[in-house]
Structure 1
């Protein structure tokens, strides 16, 4: 493990992810946490964590980024004492909340997503993972069976955001922390990492919440979509069988 990203969602984490891919680093992001380490994160969020557990989970990656890992940056930093920490924020708290409020709910709105969360094995696991995450991090109610996450409580979400940010800035050693501004581009980032500046433009990912439409390219959502096709086919076969008997 080389770098821990302590930034919360909607703080340019997808742009950072793309930066590290360009630099040739292996990255563990939220889809990896939810799918490859579902049981480990369930145990961590319910019973607590151990540094040995984090070390075993991420020892083969260069970068750990995304929820829920960003909220456990301190524990992961203890497991990897030589890892650096990069931290990014939005220009102000209201802008961050507006992005959260407009962006993240879109991941759960389309009917196909609801169908997958309710009736596919991967979707059910992912929904339970999200439930624990919002309950532990934001003190929000879970997804329930038909309800959705409510990101409209600006006061609560900003309070959690503020607490997280102040915790990173006050508790992370200055010798291992970079509070990165995206306007600084490759120069500052690569100097901190000890890397040569790549011959590539500095990326800008997830513009205007594009994650909501591009999420289906992620392996965990590809698997969920394939399972949805199978479930749909089985339901169609069952209905056809029942109708055949009834109409006979």
Structure 2
């Protein structure tokens, strides 16, 4: 592990992920945390973390970013004492809040997401995992039966944003931390990481939560869709068989 991205969601983490890949790093992001390492994260949430856990989880990658890793940046930094820390922010807490709520709106307004999260085995496990994360990361209240993401009020979310940034800035050693502004382009990022500047335009990923739709390209979400389709086929077959049986009984009775 060489780089820890301590940025909250909707602070350009997907852009930074792309930058790190262009610079040759392998990156563990949200999809890995949510699916491949979900059991390990469940244990961390229930019983606490250790340096050994994080070292075992991320010793095979160069960088880590995304939720919930950003929240545990300090524990991960302890496990990898030579790793550098990068923090990106929005212009202000109100801009971040607007962007974050739009991301959640896009996700929760999708009927396919709702069906998968409530009516497939993988979806229900993932939904319950997200609910536990949301309580830790964003102080989310208990969720209703078919709600998978209900946010607290704006004041609590803005406080979470401010407190996280203050924690990173105050607790991370200055020589180990880069507070990165995307408007500065490649130069400060490459200088901090000791990498030559690539001959590529600086990327800009996930504008206005656009990557929500591409979540279905991730293997975990593909599995949910397969389970949903299988469930529909099985239920349709059972319903058809019941109809045939009922019609036969009616004909015999007639």
Same fold (TM over 0.5): yes
1:1-248 alignment runs, 5 A limit = 1-151=1-151, 153-248=153-248
Q: Which runs of 5+ in 1 are unaligned?
A: none
Deviation at residue 225 of structure 1 after TM alignment: 1.6
- State the Cα deviation string for residues 13-53 of structure 1 (Å, max 9, x = none): 01011111212211100110011111110111121101100
Asked if the contact 1:127–1:143 (Cα under 8 Å) also holds between the matched residues in 2, the reply is: no
Q: Which structure: larger Rg?
A: 2
Q: Is the 8 A contact 2:11 2:89 kept in 1?
A: yes
Q: Which runs of 5+ in 2 are unaligned?
A: 249-254
Q: Which moved more, 1:214-223 or 1:67-76?
A: 214-223
3-state DSSP of counterpart to 2:9: coil
RMSD: 1.2
**Cα deviation digits, residues 89-136 of structure 1 (max 9, x gap):** 000000000111111232122111111011212211210111111111
Moved more, 233-242 or 193-202: 233-242
| Paired residue secondary structure (2:175) | coil
* Distance across 2 between alignment mates of 1:31 and 1:230: 23
Contact in 1 for aligned 2:118/2:124 (Cα 8 Å): yes
1:229 to partner: Cα distance = 1.5
Query: Does the CA-based 8 Å contact 1:132-1:142 persist in structure 2?
Result: no
- Deviation string 1:175-204 (CA, Å, 9 cap, x unpaired) is 110000000111111111111111111100
Q: Is the 8 A contact 1:108 1:148 kept in 2?
A: yes
State the aligned residue count.
248
Instruction: Tell me the alpha carbon deviations over residues 194-245 of structure 1, each in whole angstroms, 9 at most, x when there is no partner.
Output: 1111111110001121022221122221222222221221121121122221
- The separation in 2 between residues aligned to 1:27 and 1:117, in whole angstroms, is 26
Q: Is the 8 A contact 2:55 2:80 kept in 1?
A: yes
What TM-score, normalized to structure 2? 0.94
CA–CA separation in structure 2 for the residues paired with 1:175 and 1:236: 61
Separation of aligned partners in 1, 2:193 and 2:244: 66
